[in-house]
Amino acid sequence: MRVLLTGSSGFIGSHVAEALECEVVPADLRTGVDVRDGAALDRLLPGVDAVIHQAAKVGLGVDVADLPDYASVNAYGTATLLAAMARHGVGRLVLASSMVVYGEGAYDCPRHGRVRPGPRRLEDLAEGLFDPRCPLCGSVLSPSVIAEDAPLDPRNAYATTKLTQEHLAANWARETGGTAVALRYHNVYGPRMPRNTPYAGVASIFLSALLSGRPPQVFEDGGQRRDFVHVRDVARANVLALGAGTAGALTAYNIASGTPHTVGDLAAALAAHIGGPDPVTTGAYRLGDVRHIVASPARAVADLGFTAGISFEDGMKEFALR
């Protein structure tokens, strides 16, 4: 098999390149290829059997000034790639999507059962009340696990463009008969994770602070629940996804460990491995953030045979000490 890998030298893409046991055609800015450049893609796609699309502008964004870049790289870039794949008869796509397409996770109300909360209220956040409320009765909700058929509700520029990528890929699959698999990554961490940028992930931000001798600044009360999944497990999921999916459709999978931890747990684990200083819980918040997002990986287990193999404890130790 010959696979075109976009974002091939990036954080996740470089690990996917190492995990693939086939011919890899690299495509990213370091190799002089922008996915928005159809002519460049035309030079690479002949003879390619599948595309793994990792290239993207990541992070939650700094402010609305980021909107054009997110739309250009993530939406227009994916559209350009799909059009080129159609020109060259490449019929298999694995797309790097994200948990952010869900917005908030799944929640249960003590009176109304499973409900979908709206955005958290500013007055609650200002008072340190961080958990979402039931839209029907106002009760504080309990978090549950979210599956791939949950309603999608992107709440920032990055999330909106990741969902756009999924819609574009589904459109391509329907029109060409191709097979599209969207891997909804949860909180990916591990070696080569970008650091010291406004778009870095929370694990990288905490580690950068600790290595500079500063305590990690934990937003809200530190109780935000996430699923932290190691990058090598994510890379293996991409390899497995090359053999999955249904012709003419897009199939989405949660790629997660299945074992949630809080953001406070993350900060404490990294501080312990580095040797301090202890994290500081600030109570600060960002409107684009969600409270809890915990996945059910059951579909990936059943269809892909994917189970995360690196534990939170082992992965965090490696990440902190490399």
| Domain-wise residue ranges, the chain | 2-105+146-321
Predicted confidence at residue 198, as pLDDT, reads 55
Q: How many CB atoms lie within 10 A of CB 25?
A: 18
Predicted confidence at residue 119, as pLDDT, reads 84
Which residue type occupies 54?
A: Q
Predicted confidence at residue 200, as pLDDT, reads 63
Residues 279 and 205: their CA atoms lie apart, in Å, by 12
Predicted confidence at residue 58, as pLDDT, reads 85
Q: How far is CA 164 from CA 29, 59, 154, 170, 203, in A?
A: 22, 16, 10, 10, 26
Which residue type occupies 51?
A: V
Predicted confidence at residue 63, as pLDDT, reads 74
Phi and psi of 83, rounded to 5°?
A: -65, -40
* pLDDT tens digits along 137-156: 999 999 999 999 999 999 88
Write out residues in the chain with pLDDT < 50, as ranges.
none
Is 253 in contact with 185 (CB distance < 8 Å)? no
DSSP strand pairing (106-109 vs 113-115): antiparallel
Predicted confidence at residue 156, as pLDDT, reads 86
CATH code for the part of the protein at 2-105+146-321: 3.40.50.720
Phi and psi of 275, rounded to 5°?
A: 95, 35
